[in-house]
Chains A and B, each alone.
Chain A
Amino acid sequence: MSRVRVLGPREALSRTLEALQDLGLVHLSAPASRGALATAALEPRQLRLERQLKRILDDVRSATALLGADEVRTSASHPPGPWGRTARLARQVRREAERLQTRGRALEEERALLAKYQDVMAVFGKLFERGVAPGLRAYLVVLRAGQLGSVERLRTLLDGSLGRDFELRTHPLPSGELVLLLLVPLSNAPRVERLLGESGVEQVPLPRGYEGQSLADAVPHILERLHAIPGELEEVAKARAQLRQRLPELAEDAAAVHDRLSQLEGLRLSASTPHAFVLEGWVPTTEVRRLTTRLTETVGPSVSVEELAAEHWTAEAPVVLHNPRLFRPFQLLVGMLPLPRYGSIDPTPFVAIFFPMFFGLMVGDVGYGLVLALVGLLLRRRSRPGTSLRAISEIALGCALFTCIFGVLFGEFFGDLGRHWFGMRPLVLDREEPRDIVSFLGLCIALGLVHVMLGLVLGVVSAFRGHPRQAIGRGLSALMLLLITGALLAAFRILPHQLLSPLVVALLVAFPLLIIAEGLVAPVELLSTLGNVLSYARIMALGTASVMLALVANKLSGAMGSVVVGVIFGLLFHLINFGLALFSPTIQGLRLQYVEFFGRFYSPGGVQYRPFRHWRNT
């Protein structure tokens, strides 16, 4: 990155900002105000415009959310205002969307309310359609679930009070409640109402709008309304769909609004004297010449670009991760942590090598690798370039490649099926054999040693410029790690035993030096580093668990008796194992990167490079 200062006459500021926005290269930052140079403040007219533009964006967002649409993609260049027309359009669409949503909700609520009566209608509808005979009074009563005893209590009370002068019918509802219909002579109505109250039953209240009517009168209207509601809901849905067609136009306008707001923000980040302006920001070093040429072409020779000396700004410079095409998807994994600080090491290339390698080492099965490749290819076909999904698909393909490679080396195809079907043989290690599992553990620890050592070396390189003492400490830690490993190997006679004494002496010399370089925390740090190396045993543990599960799947499906049941059972078990194989190795592989590896050199705290450019949501 290079920090640049753009200078020019004050009247050229707007044109310069437009040119910078078209170019989309400069990450603007406020210049330090000194002398006559004052940070720019927006004029009242511009502040009013800013408020209006923000209201437009609020309206667009609300309308988009209310219409249940995804954010509409827009082209890269947008026509400017007039803002009055844009504001009216946004407000109109938002209000109409709100009205339709309110109408739709009201209809849904009404339907839900009336539907409660539908069950009652289904049972007693015919009675109400024909009407209750003159001189009779009908009571429709709902008993809550579990209160069936109330029916008998009511019947007893009615028997005692009216003799046989009543008709009582019940019907259970799907919801568990019980509908009760009571027909009595009109003259006995007051007495019956008192008895209903005494027995503790609850009368069905009529929905709002039907309160004044009798149930017999209300029923046909309720049924009619229930039939009419779906049609009205359909009309609301059609109106919403029509309104949604206006969103692309609105999105284009919103993009122009975003651009204008960015320009106002750019104005805020400028500084000026009565006659000149200053803009400062960061540009990729390779683009400084293009910036100068383009500004001279579009604004004129009165605007100049000056590159500032690097030593004053390195700590605050923004960061952009830039890697070769092959490694780029893995920036997604690095991006899950805060960005590395400017000038520190971008770990993406290392993650791109070690993450799929660890994943492959853990799963290590040609069959699972092929299935994973298939999943990766499907995801790739369904994703757009530059999206997270595309990156995930490419990471999956990388992991699948290593899984297949290690699958061949371990002779595994869905566990031991490859050995039975194709005569596959392990080329390096047989993860089913206890003796080879110990060798596998050794391989994983050795790999961990290499990985952690690499992290320490990167830490030395990273700290060398700014913190030489820290760099020496990390170098000594790496050396101690090597010496300890060598001494252990010599002690177990894997290396010549004669090396043990010189290695121990070297350790005794290096240890005080480490304490001098890093202080009293050095021994703790060293122990933590050793723990980190041992942590790579998880690769062996997960790998062994994975192969054992695959073997169990094959053995159990073979013991089923029926071929069909055995195949289905085996497929299900392998599917579960594949799911586990996707999840656990990913998490553990990431952990090995983030904790064991990054912990040795990674300096978080970088600021994302956000060039001043046209707004785009693509």
Chain B
Amino acid sequence: MQLLGITLSAALAIAIPTLATAWAQSRIGPAAAASLAEKPELSGTVIIMIAIPETMSILGFVVAMFIMFRAGG
């Protein structure tokens, strides 16, 4: 039961931020593509904009790993 709880916690720790990232990127992506079509010189800014939400997934991944390691998984 404890193992299930740990595994589920780790899964949620990465799943929820990843869903949030996906939602954010789904909004940013089309806007970024439209901006690039009109102003190709914005490519650097667009990379930043798209990469910013990924922080959530990455930190979620770090947290999930810590949960697993703490539990000795």
Interface residues of B in 10-68 (CB under 8 A from A): 41, 43-45, 47-48, 50-52, 54-55, 58-59, 61-62, 65, 68
Q: How far is the CA of A590 from the CA of B47 in the complex (A)?
A: 8
Distance in Å: Cβ of A95 to nearest Cβ of chain B: 32
Majority secondary structure, B binding face = helix
Q: For residue B48, which residues in chain A have a CB less than 8 angstroms away from its CB?
A: 591, 594-595
- A268 within 8 A of partner (CB): no
Residues of B within 8 A of A505 (CB): none
Task: Assess the A587–B47 pair: CB atoms within 8 A.
Answer: yes
Closest Cβ–Cβ distance, residue A67 to chain B (whole Å): 25
Tell me, in angstroms, the Cα distance from A438 to B50 when the chains sit together. 28
Q: Which residues of B contact A544 (CB under 8 A)?
A: 61, 65
In the bound complex, do residue B61 and residue A595 qualify as a contact, i.e. CB atoms below 8 Å apart? no
Whether A328 sits at the interface, judged by CB under 8 Å, is no
- Which chain A positions have C-beta within 8 A of B65? 437, 541, 544
Bound-state Cα–Cα, A336 to B44, Å: 5
Do A541 and B61 form a contact, CB below 8 Å, given A434-B69, A437-B69, A595-B52? yes
Contacting pair A588 B44 (CB below 8 A) = no
Q: Number of A residues contacting the other chain (C-beta, 8 Å)? A: 22
A535: CB under 8 A from chain B? yes
What's the minimum C-beta distance from B19 to chain A, rounded to whole angstroms?
A: 17
Distance in Å: Cβ of B44 to nearest Cβ of chain A:
3
A542/B58 in contact, CB under 8 A:
yes
CB neighbours (8 Å) of B62 from chain A are 441, 537, 540-541
Q: Are B58 and A336 in contact (CB under 8 A)?
A: no
From B48, B59, B61, B68, name the one whose CB has the most chain A CB atoms within 10 angstroms.
Answer: B48
Tell me the smallest distance from the CB of A602 to a CB of chain B, in Å: 11
Whether the pair B58, A587 counts as a contact (CB closer than 8 A) is no
When distances are taken between beta carbons in the complex, the residues of chain B under 8 Å from A594 are: 44, 47-48
Which of B45, B47, B59 is A537 in contact with, Cβ under 8 Å?
Answer: B59
Contact present for B44 and A541 (CB under 8 Å): no
Q: How far is the CA of A103 from the CA of B51 in the complex (A)?
A: 49
Q: Are A591 and B51 in contact (CB under 8 A)?
A: yes
Determine if A438 and B58 form an interchain contact, defined as CB atoms under 8 angstroms apart.
no
Known: A336-B43, A336-B44, A337-B45. A541 touches B58 (CB 8 A): yes
Q: What residues of chain B lie closer than 8 Å to A545, measured between beta carbons?
A: 61
Cβ of A538 under 8 Å from chain B: yes
Query: What residues of chain A lie closer than 8 Å to B43, measured between beta carbons?
Result: 336
Rounded to whole Å, the gap between the CB of A93 and the closest CB of chain B is 29
A535-B69 in contact given A336-B44, A591-B47 (Cβ < 8 Å): no
Contact A538 B55 (CB under 8 A): yes
Q: In the assembly, what is the distance between CA of A337 and CA of B49, in Å?
A: 13
Q: Is the CB of A591 within 8 A of B52?
A: yes
CB of A248, distance to nearest CB on chain B (Å) = 28
Q: How far is the CA of A338 from the CA of B40 in the complex (A)?
A: 12
Query: Is the Cβ of B45 less than 8 Å from the Cβ of A535?
Result: no
Given contacts A537-B59, A537-B62, A542-B58, whether A438 and B47 have CB atoms under 8 Å apart is no
Scoring B44, B52, B54 by chain A CB atoms within 10 A of each residue's CB, the highest score goes to B44
Query: Which chain A positions have C-beta within 8 A of B58?
Result: 537-538, 541-542, 588
Are B44 and A535 neighbours in the complex by a CB distance under 8 Å? no
Q: Return chain B residues, CB-CB under 8 Å to A434.
A: 68-69
Residues of B within 8 A of A590 (CB): 44, 47, 51
Complex Cα distance, B65 from A458, in Å, reads 35
Nearest neighbor of A589 in chain B, beta-carbon distance: B51
Query: Are A587 and B51 in touch, CB under 8 angstroms?
Result: yes
A residues 293-348 near B (Cβ < 8 Å) are 336-338
Residues of B contacting A535 in the complex (Cβ-Cβ under 8 angstroms):
55
In the complex, which residue of chain A has the Cβ closest to the Cβ of B60? Answer: A541
Looking across the interface, which residue of chain B has its beta carbon closest to that of A534? Answer: B59
- How far in angstroms is the closest Cβ of chain B from A246? 31
- For window 428-478 of A, CB contacts with B under 8 Å fall at 434, 437-438, 441
Whole-angstrom CA separation of A437 from B48 in the bound complex = 27
Kindly state the separation between the CA atoms of A438 and B58 in the bound complex, as whole angstroms.
15
Provide the bound-state CA to CA distance between A115 and B52, in Å: 53
Residues of B within 8 A of A336 (CB): 43-44, 47
Interface-centre pick from A337, A437, A438, A542 (highest chain B CB count, 10 A): A337
Q: Which residue of B lies closest to A334 (CB)?
A: B44
Look across to chain A and name the residue whose beta carbon is closest to the beta carbon of B43: A336
User: B68: which A residues are within 8 A, CB to CB?
Assistant: 434
Q: Which residues of A contact B50 (CB under 8 A)?
A: 587
- Considering the complex, give the chain A residue whose CB is closest to the CB of B50: A587
Nearest-neighbour CB distance to chain A for B73, whole angstroms, equals 8
Chain B, Cβ-Cβ closest to A584: B54
Minimal Cβ-Cβ distance residue in A for B70: A434
Give the CA-CA distance A434 to B41 in the complex, in Å. Answer: 43
Residue of A with least CB distance to B61: A541
Q: Which residues of A contact B47 (CB under 8 A)?
A: 336, 587, 590-591, 594
Within 8 A of B (CB), among A578-617: 587-588, 590-591, 594-595
* CB-nearest residue of chain A to B72: A434
B54 contacts A438, C-beta separation under 8 Å? no
Shortest distance in angstroms between A588's beta carbon and chain B's nearest beta carbon? 6
Residue of B nearest to A591 (CB): B51
Q: How far is the CA of A590 from the CA of B65 in the complex (A)?
A: 24
For the complex, what is the distance from the CA of A590 to the CA of B51, rounded to whole Å? Answer: 9
CB distance from A230 to the nearest CB of B (A): 38
Within the assembled complex, what's the spacing in Å between the Cα atoms of A293 and B55? Answer: 57
Cross-chain contact A588 with B69 (CB below 8 angstroms): no
Give the Cβ gap from A444 to chain B, nearest Cβ, in Å. 10
Provide the bound-state CA to CA distance between A542 and B61, in Å: 9
| Mask of A411-425 contacts with B, CB within 8 angstroms, 1/0 | 000000000000000
Chain B: minimal CB distance from A239 (Å)? 35
Determine the distance from Cα of A535 to Cα of B58 in the docked complex, in whole angstroms: 9
Contacts of B59 in A (CB 8 A): 534, 537-538, 541
B39 vs chain A, min Cβ distance (A): 11
Interface 1/0s, chain A 533-551, versus B by CB < 8 A?
A: 0110110111011000000
Chain B interface residues (CB < 8 Å from chain A): 41, 43-45, 47-48, 50-52, 54-55, 58-59, 61-62, 65, 68-69
Top 4 A-B pairs ranked by shortest CB distance? A336-B44, A337-B44, A591-B51, A538-B58
User: Can you list 5 A-B contacts (CB < 8 A)?
Assistant: A336-B43, A441-B62, A541-B65, A588-B58, A590-B44
List 5 additional A-B contacts (Cβ < 8 Å) besides A534-B59, A541-B59, A590-B47.
A540-B62, A541-B62, A594-B44, A595-B48, A595-B51
